[in-house]
Structure 1
Amino acid sequence: MPRDLLFVVGEEIIESPIAWRCCFFEYRAYCRLMKEYFREGAKWTTAPKPQMSDELLGYIGSHERLELPARGQFVTTEFEPCFDAADFERAGKDIFCQLSNTTNRMGVEWLRRQIGDDYTIHIVQCVDDAPMHIDASLCLLRPGLVLVNPEKPCYQIELFSKAGWDVVEAPHPVTPSDHPMWFSSTWLSMNVLMLDHNRVVVDANEIPTQRLFENLGMECIKVDLRFAGSLGGGSHCWTCDVRRNGSLESYF
Structure 2
Amino acid sequence: MLRVRCLRGGSRGAEAAHFIGSRLGRVFTGWVQRTFQSTQAATASQNTCAADDNKATNPVPKDCPVCSYNEWDPLEEVIVGRAENACVPPFSVEVKVNKKNNNFKWKVVQFLYMQLKLCSAQRMVFTHESMYAAMPRDILLVVGNEIIEAPMAWRARFFEYRAYRQIIKEYFNCGAKWTTAPKPTMADELYDKDYPIRSVEDRHKLAAQGKFVTTEFEPCFDAADFIRAGRDIFVQRSQVTNYMGIEWMRRHLAPDYRVHVISFKDPNPMHIDATFNIIGPGLVLSNPDRPCYQVRLQQNRNWFILVCLDHPLWMSSKWLSMNVLMLDEKRVMVDANETSIQKMFEKLGISTIKVSIRHANSLGGGFHCWTCDIRRRGTLQSYFD
Q: TM-score range by the shorter chain?
A: over 0.9
- TM-superposed CA distance for 1:17, in Å, is 0.9
Match of 2:45 in 1: none
| Among 319, 333, 357, the residue aligned to 1:201 | 333
For residues 38-72 of structure 1, the C-alpha deviation after alignment (integer angstroms, 9 at most, x for no partner) is 00000111001001011101246644682421211
> What is the CA–CA distance in structure 1 between the aligned matches of 2:141 and 2:302, rounded to whole Å?
26
- TM-superposed CA distance for 1:152, in Å, is 0.7
| Among 338, 344, 351, the residue aligned to 1:212 | 344
Q: Does 1:188 align with 2:320?
A: yes
> What is the CA–CA distance in structure 2 between the aligned matches of 1:60 and 1:28, rounded to whole Å?
31
Match of 2:192 in 1: 58
- Residue 32 of structure 1 aligns to a residue in which SS? helix
Q: Does 1:29 align with 2:163?
A: yes
Unaligned runs of 5+ residues in structure 2 are 1-134
Match of 2:372 in 1: 240
Task: Tell me which amino acid in the other structure corresponds to 1:180.
Answer: L
> What is the CA–CA distance in structure 2 between the aligned matches of 1:240 and 1:211, rounded to whole Å?
26
> What is the CA–CA distance in structure 2 between the aligned matches of 1:23 and 1:46, rounded to whole Å?
15
* TM value normalised by structure 2: 0.62
Match of 2:249 in 1: 111
> What is the CA–CA distance in structure 1 between the aligned matches of 2:304 and 2:190, rounded to whole Å?
36
Match of 1:93 in 2: 231
| Among 59, 64, 76, the residue aligned to 2:214 | 76
Q: Is the 8 A contact 1:59 1:74 kept in 2?
A: no
> What is the CA–CA distance in structure 2 between the aligned matches of 1:225 and 1:32, rounded to whole Å?
27
> What is the CA–CA distance in structure 2 between the aligned matches of 1:157 and 1:194, rounded to whole Å?
26
For residues 221-252 of structure 1, the C-alpha deviation after alignment (integer angstroms, 9 at most, x for no partner) is 00101112210100000001111111110000
Give the length in aligned residue pairs: 246
- Residue 55 of structure 1 aligns to a residue in which SS? helix
Unaligned runs of 5+ residues in structure 1 are none
Match of 1:13 in 2: 147
- TM-superposed CA distance for 1:161, in Å, is 4.6
Match of 1:174 in 2: 309
Match of 2:359 in 1: 227
- TM-superposed CA distance for 1:155, in Å, is 1.2
- TM-superposed CA distance for 1:167, in Å, is 1.0
- TM-superposed CA distance for 1:22, in Å, is 0.4
Task: Tell me which amino acid in the other structure corresponds to 2:365.
Answer: G
- Residue 109 of structure 1 aligns to a residue in which SS? helix
- Larger RCO (CA within 8 A; separation ≥ 6): 2
For residues 193-243 of structure 1, the C-alpha deviation after alignment (integer angstroms, 9 at most, x for no partner) is 111111100000000110000000000000101112210100000001111
- TM-superposed CA distance for 1:158, in Å, is 1.8
Task: Tell me which amino acid in the other structure corresponds to 2:186.
Answer: M
> What is the CA–CA distance in structure 2 between the aligned matches of 1:139 and 1:63, rounded to whole Å?
28
- Residue 8 of structure 1 aligns to a residue in which SS? strand
> What is the CA–CA distance in structure 2 between the aligned matches of 1:217 and 1:78, rounded to whole Å?
44
Match of 2:382 in 1: 250
